[in-house]
Amino acid sequence: MDGSGCRCVNFKLRSVGDRKAAVNGDFVMTAPEVQKVIQALRKGHIDVVELHQHSLTEQPRLFYLHFWAAADGVALARALRPAPDATGPAPPRPSASTSAGTPQWPFM
């Protein structure tokens, strides 16, 4: 990892009926991205549930942010979109297979 770019965005958008939906999920990001993502989520009325770390010595230092909201489904999707855009570009992914021909998982 080179220290730039969001590592992971994971979310679930589920219908709760009557055009309403609920979304919850998380980001894994570096320190320079934290405030930008929080601001994007709050602007879209998406609640930040928790921000924390898993390790004290990892490099780059990663932060884990969990979020949640319930509202009109289309409005939620539109409100969520700016948050991943607030992160830097992710580092390049490895090729689809190693030189030995072993497939790489998409999260590697």
Give the residue, 104 or 83, on which the prediction is more confident: 83
The amino acid present at 44, given as its one-letter code, is G
Per-residue pLDDT at 60 exceeds 60: yes
CB 14 within 8 A of CB 21: yes
Domains present along the chain, CATH in parentheses: 8-85 (3.30.70)
pLDDT at 106: 46
pLDDT at 56: 86
Region 8-18: mean pLDDT is 89
Average pLDDT, the chain: 82
Evaluate if pTM is beyond 0.85: no
Instruction: Read off the pLDDT band of 41 (50, 70, 90).
Output: very high
